[in-house]
A and B are shown apart, each in its own frame.
Chain A
Amino acid sequence: MSDPRSDNASGRPDRPEDDAPQSGAIAGDSALLQFALNLVMLAGFGYLFWEAMALPESRWEPLGAGTFPRVLLGVLMFLNVVMLIQSARQARAELGYGPRALFDVAWRTMLEFRMVFTVLGAFGLFLILIRPLGFVIAAFLFAFGVQMLLGPRTWRNLVISAIIAAVVSVGLQVFFAQALYVFLPRGPFF
């Protein structure tokens, strides 16, 4: 999976035109990132397994509340160990690029996906703001902001974005309340 012509830690080609997005996994091509992810998952599942040990047993049935999750988490831990062994050699090779290799791969991934992270962050902010501002204002700000971020910066797009944002905020609020009797959260004004 790593490009042998590449001299960077992630093994991706260096030429910018080759750095175009592909349909498959991109971050998944770094064995070091995979190794780090499996390590984090192993630790996480280990912690959850420990939590599952405290789940109550039942007097009425052979399997208590914790048995099923413990089996699942045990198999998940085993599979993560398999993954760690599978990717260890390649990850060590990537680490050979220097101690900052993991940071380098993570930083490149951050840069590569900055637009995605921005939209995801905006979505998270929209969801957080629904309670204090109400659905209408939060949805309008999110829809308008993301359209302006992703779309062309022209006056025409600004007007279209505002109209679309109004439809998906005010329009949805009215439709859900009037037609479906579902009342979306209201803020101080709407």
Chain B
Amino acid sequence: MQADEMIPRSHVSAMSSSSAMPSSSAVPMADSAPATRKVTGRLALWKVMPLACAIALLTCLASLLWGAGQVGPMQALKALMGQGSEEARFVVYELRAPRTLIGIVVGMMLACGGALMQVVARNPLAEPGLLGVSAGASFAVAVALLLGIEAAGMHVIVAQSGALLGCLFVMSTVRVRGARQDPVRLVLAGAALSSLLVALTSLVLLIDQRAADEIRFWVVGSLAGRSLSALYHCLPSLLLAVVLTLWLARPLAALVLGEQVASGLGHRPERVRQITILVVALLVGAATALAGPVAFVGLAVPYVARALCGADIRRTLWLCLPLGVTMLLTADVISRLVVPPSELPLGVLTTLLGAPVLIAVVRARRLPTL
């Protein structure tokens, strides 16, 4: 009798475990059970990358098709094909296309900036938007506007300088005793800096009503009404950042293995770290000059990239490109559609998408180590 019962029971358990397998392998997050993990818990980059790029392209298309205005997706599609009304073509080519292009660049810059900062800080929570780097950039721009610096190209440099100062401040707190053991401390220090800078920025707003309108433009993260010329001003520093990142990738990956290991492999940890901070400032500063402070992209995107392909910074950076575009444009498209004909600020949407990731990371039993 007992033996009879045993057989179906084990059979059932085998059934349930086999039915659980596909769902856990389809979502290869960090929590996949050790039993289902064959060799590694991650996917090969060449398998993930095409899919990620395809999804990024779809969000680009969506960004061209949907908007807050009168031109609906069908009209926009016709306009893309070279048909449709004059108005639709104007909206698609003159408004949505530049906006999409800026969104692509900003998404990539923020995601890569976040990934780089996390490696340098050895902290998965190091996110430029949360830690006051973006706030530093927008505060610097606000001060520049108050002082009457009008030249469009200056904004980028000013924002990058502000980002660099914010970056240096936050990174210096990493060196404070205990901060390395407790990644949440870094976020607290960053949040303090961030609120301070936001408060100072609002003070600047009060001082000068004339500059206030222009400053508000920078204080709220948004892709609306940003011109392509701003993008051109970012290109030189973007190019520099790309070159430096390609040069940095190898030593940075070695740095993750430990300071002395990297030195033993012939790298200079201190210099690598300094240049990385410079690159983060270039990227986040330029992104802030383009779209204002946008938080959580630099946190959520690298987190997902690592979960998919492992912690190696070289893979993370590649994957950050399409995933950054996807997250930023998705947030932007939703921001246009929620309360038409007006728009939600982009930062609100990225926070809605990104904050759950932050909570997930903090609540994880064991913080993923970098």
Do A and B share a complex? Answer: no
